[in-house]
A = this chain, B = another copy of it.
Amino acid sequence: MAGLAHSPLEAAALIMDVVPLVMRRMRKEMRSRRMSGLSLPQFRTLIFLRRHEGASLSQVAAHVGVGLPSMSKIIESLVRRDLVTRVTSASDRRCVNLSLSNPGLATVEEARRETEARVAELLAELSHQQRAEVYGAMQALQAAFDGAEPLSKTPRGAAHANH
């Protein structure tokens, strides 16, 4: 399979073709299963909050990879739907403490289970070796695409706190 000499440019071209495709596919799966009407960013936000009770808006935004205004809006919609609680921090009243509500927890667990199952179903068509390849590739991409400036400097050895 792989093995051949693929330049970074060739790989880049392929990624730019495939990643948006996978993205849309995941979105479509979520919508078609009417996952409580959760979008991907909302979904990822809930997932993060499940593991980081009381996180601040900035922390969530950084992890999900969006700006503060975007995350503020996302949280706003989740709070409105009673999936997330948002309270002002006692220690630093500029911050908010975000947590999953009980319905929020139930929702995220069901949605995650469902969506993962759909994606897994698609992956089940791959061979064991292909799946291992995908897994390894995702880890590599995660390391390469996480953080990191658009270019230039990057002392870049800098550890990538793995969330």
Contact = CB atoms under 8 A, between A and B. Distances in A.
Candidate in A41, A115, A140, A143 with the most chain B CB atoms within 10 angstroms: A140
A103 interface: no
Contacts of A68: none
Given A11-B120, A144-B126, A23 B26 contact: no
Number of copies: 2
24 contacts: A5-B132, A6-B135, A8-B120, A9-B116, A12-B119, A12-B123, A13-B116, A15-B123, A15-B138, A16-B115, A18-B139, A20-B41, A20-B44, A21-B141, A21-B146, A22-B145, A23-B23, A28-B150, A29-B150, A33-B150, A121-B151, A122-B144, A122-B145, A133-B136
Interface of A: 1-26, 28-29, 32-33, 40-41, 44, 65-66, 115-126, 128, 130-146, 148, 150-151, 156, 163
